[in-house]
Each structure stands twice: as structure tokens, then as C-alpha cells.
């Protein structure tokens, strides 16, 4: 068994990114791990008329299984259409570790993949990325590569410090690999613990500008872009959770990037925080509740509200397509 993404009604990222760069917004790439999160993402994007990338990590694929993920993505498309929206939906592998993983995803309906060779040398990164591009091209699947290293945790890989992308390397990387988009490191980082409270997180926007100067119009991707909303951190702690004090990337820092050559921005952590805060709140306020729909439903609505706000305040991708009701 297996699927071609086109038969699931999915899109690759090519036209999505062309339109995003033309119209100066960024496409949201929201990670999902279950049905509630998929529904929150697609309903938020359909109601805003925003294109969407459903992003699935290797851990998420293992958790949901490769039999279920493509059908959840198809269900997302069907849900958007039932709401009357024509938004394009991509199913994207986040931080693909190697060609074998990419092959499994493409066989199972992914329309886009990332190959993350950022922890290898420049030449090794190019070699493994090019292999993936050559393979994915046969299926019209788009490929994201990465140059530079983000601080934080990705699956099992932990990087203590970020290594900013070197603008001198980007043209050669794109030319030699044939990637469709490029993830760069300019000061964002993965996970909930990005910066200490009281600090003033700043992105290296001068590096972004220099990269854009060298590859005008080429789709750039930002990972690690969660804001770590303090209302969720406080709620989680108030209702018995343990979370270190931390802050994320301010919306204002990302807004400028979304208007420029950045075509895709990744958000995972904030969805987890919204979900966890909502479930803890319901458990604390109604301890007699044991119908999972009562707390998962609240969690879904919380995530949906968050995604809609983020689209409005950061991505600027609202009204790009038909609004769904
Ligand atoms: O960049 C990493 C993503 O946040 C995925 O996290 O591997 O725990 O699903 P995960
Ligand atoms: P956050 O941890 O900031 O949400 O980043 C997610 C990400 O980059 C997924 O690839
Ligand atoms: Zn990432």
C-alpha cells in the first residue's frame, strides 16, 4: 500500500512559496501529532484563507503511524473543502534524517520533505541533499535543505549553540543540490527554552538581508520560531505543571522576516504549550471530567485560536485563498 500525494488532494510547496514571496507573506508550517491538532490547524487556516503546511516529524510519524498520517492529511483537505475553502495543503516531513526516511514518506503520500544535513560538513550536506532532490523530483515532491545549525532539540539531536548560516555558501548550496527551499539559522532555536526571561531576543536580520541579496526571490525557511506565549507557560505552572521560565521569538521580530524572502515559518512548541495548558485547566477546574472529548475538545479550540492569531500577527497569509466557514 501507499499513496501518491496528488490522489490525497495535497499540494507540494512550489506554487505556495511563489505566491507567498510575490505577495509578501509566509506560509505557516505547523507540526501536528494527533487528530485534534490536525483539525485545529486546518480549521484555523481555512477560516483565515491561509495556505498551510502540515508538518510531521519522524517522532510524529512513528507516533501516528505511516498508515494513519496520509489519511489524516487527506482528511484535512476534505475538511477545508467541506468548509468551502480552497486553501492548498501540503504534507511535509520535518527534519528528515536520510534518504531512507524520505523514501518512506514519499511512498506514503508526503508532498514535501526536508533533508536535514545541517550537522554534516558542507560537502556531505550537499551530497545527501542532492541525492534526496534527485529522488524526490521523480514524484514532483519539493525538497527543503538546511544550512547553519539551530540551537535546541530536534528529535534526538541537541545543539548547544547555533551556528549562523554563512551567506557566502548559499548560492553554491542551492546550485549544487537543486533544493526548492532553504532553511537558515539566524538566531531562532528549537523547543520551549530558547531565551532567558529578561533578555531581548533578536534575530540576525542583517544575515537574512545578505542571504536574500544573494538569492533574490528564493524561498527561505525559518525553524524554531515559536513565541512561547507567557500566558500558556503561566497556566501550565498554575495548574501543576513544571516548566522552566523561558521566552521565545517575539512576533515583532518574525513579522519583518515574513514580509521578506522568508516563505515558510515553523511552529511546533507553541501548539504543544496551548494544548497542555488547556488540558491542565480542564482537569484542574473540573476534576470529575473523564470524557476525553471534553478536554481534548477544549485543547483543540485553544490551539485553533492560537494559530489564527499567529497567522494574523506574524505570517500575514490571511485572505490569500477562499475563506471557509
Ligand atoms: O524541530 C523539531 C520539532 O519540534 C519536532 O519535534 O521530534 O519531538 O516531534 P519532535
Ligand atoms: P519550535 O520549537 O520553535 O516550535 O520550532 C519548530 C520547528 O522548527 C520544527 O521544525
Ligand atoms: Zn525545525
| Ranges under pLDDT 50 in the chain | none
- CA 156–ligand 1 middle distance (angstroms): 9
Question: Torsion over CA of 302, 303, 307 and 313, rounded to 10 degrees?
Answer: 50
Q: How many helices (H) and strands (E) does the chain have?
A: 12, 10
Q: Nearest Cα to 272, choosing from 253, 299, 305? A: 299
User: Measured from the CA of 268, which atom of ligand 1 is nearest?
Assistant: 4
Ligand 1 in contact with 95 (CB < 6 A)? Answer: yes
Per-residue model confidence (pLDDT) at position 181 = 98
- CA 285–ligand 3 middle distance (angstroms): 34
Per-residue model confidence (pLDDT) at position 281 = 98
Ligand 2 in contact with 96 (CB < 6 A)? Answer: no
CA angle 319, 321, 324 (to 5 degrees): 85
Quick one: cell of 273? Answer: 504549550
Q: Strands (DSSP E) along 1-102, which ranges?
A: 27-31, 52-57, 89-96
Tell the residue nearest (CA) to atom 4 of ligand 1.
Answer: 268
Per-residue model confidence (pLDDT) at position 155 = 52
Smallest-distance ligand from the CA of 265:
2
User: Catalytic residue positions?
Assistant: 94
Per the CB < 8 A criterion, the answer to whether 167 and 210 are in contact is: yes
What is the per-residue pLDDT across 257-315, written as a single tens digit (0 to 9) for each?
998 899 999 999 999 999 999 999 999 999 999 999 999 999 999 999 999 999 999 99
- CA 323–ligand 3 middle distance (angstroms): 28
What is the per-residue pLDDT across 253-273, written as a single tens digit (0 to 9) for each?
999 899 889 999 999 999 999
Amino acid at each position: 500500500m501507499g499513496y501518491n500525494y496528488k490522489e490525497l488532494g495535497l499540494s507540494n510547496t512550489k506554487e505556495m512559496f511563489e505566491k507567498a514571496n510575490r505577495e509578501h507573506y509566509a506560509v505557516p508550517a505547523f507540526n501536528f501529532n494527533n487528530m485534534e491538532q490536525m483539525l485545529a490547524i486546518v480549521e484555523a487556516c481555512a477560516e483565515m484563507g491561509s495556505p498551510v503546511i502540515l508538518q510531521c516529524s519522524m517522532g510524529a510519524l512513528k507516533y501516528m503511524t505511516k498508515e494513519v498520517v496520509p489519511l489524516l492529511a487527506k482528511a484535512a483537505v476534505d475538511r477545508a473543502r467541506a468548509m468551502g475553502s480552497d486553501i492548498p495543503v501540503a504534507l511535509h516531513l520535518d527534519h528528515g534524517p536520510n534518504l531512507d526516511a524520505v523514501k518512506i514518506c514519499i511512498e506514503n503520500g508526503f508532498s514535501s520533505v526536508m533533508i536535514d544535513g545541517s550537522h554534516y560538513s558542507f560537502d556531505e550536506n550537499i551530497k545527501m541533499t542532492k541525492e534526496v532532490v534527485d529522488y524526490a523530483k521523480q514524484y514532483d515532491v519539493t525538497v527543503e535543505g538546511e544550512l547553519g545549525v539551530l540551537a535546541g532539540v530536534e528529535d534526538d539531536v541537541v545543539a548547544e549553540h547555533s551556528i549562523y548560516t554563512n551567506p557566502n555558501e548559499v548560492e553554491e548550496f542551492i546550485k549544487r543540490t537543486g533544493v526548492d527551499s532553504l532553511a537558515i539559522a539566524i538566531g531562532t532555536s528549537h523547543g520551549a527554552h530558547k531565551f532567558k526571561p529578561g533578555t531581548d531576543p533578536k534575530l540576525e536580520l542583517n544575515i537574512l538581508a545578505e542571504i536574500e541579496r544573494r538569492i533574490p526571490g528564493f524561498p527561505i525557511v525559518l525553524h524554531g520560531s515559536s513565541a512561547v506565549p507567557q500566558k500558556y507557560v503561566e497556566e501550565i505552572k498554575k495548574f501543576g505543571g513544571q516548566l522552566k521560565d523561558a521566552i521565545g521569538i517575539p512576533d515583532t521580530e518574525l513579522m519583518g522576516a515574513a514580509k521578506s524572502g522568508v516563505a515558510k515559518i515553523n511552529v511546533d512548541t507553541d501548539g504543544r504549550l496551548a494544548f497542555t495548558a488547556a488540558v491542565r485547566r480542564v482537569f484542574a477546574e473540573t476534576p470529575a471530567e473523564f470524557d476525553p472529548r471534553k478536554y481534548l475538545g477544549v485543547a483543540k479550540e485553544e490551539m485553533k485560536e492560537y494559530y489564527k492569531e499567529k497567522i494574523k500577527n506574524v505570517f500575514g497569509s490571511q485572505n490569500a485563498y477562499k475563506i471557509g466557514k
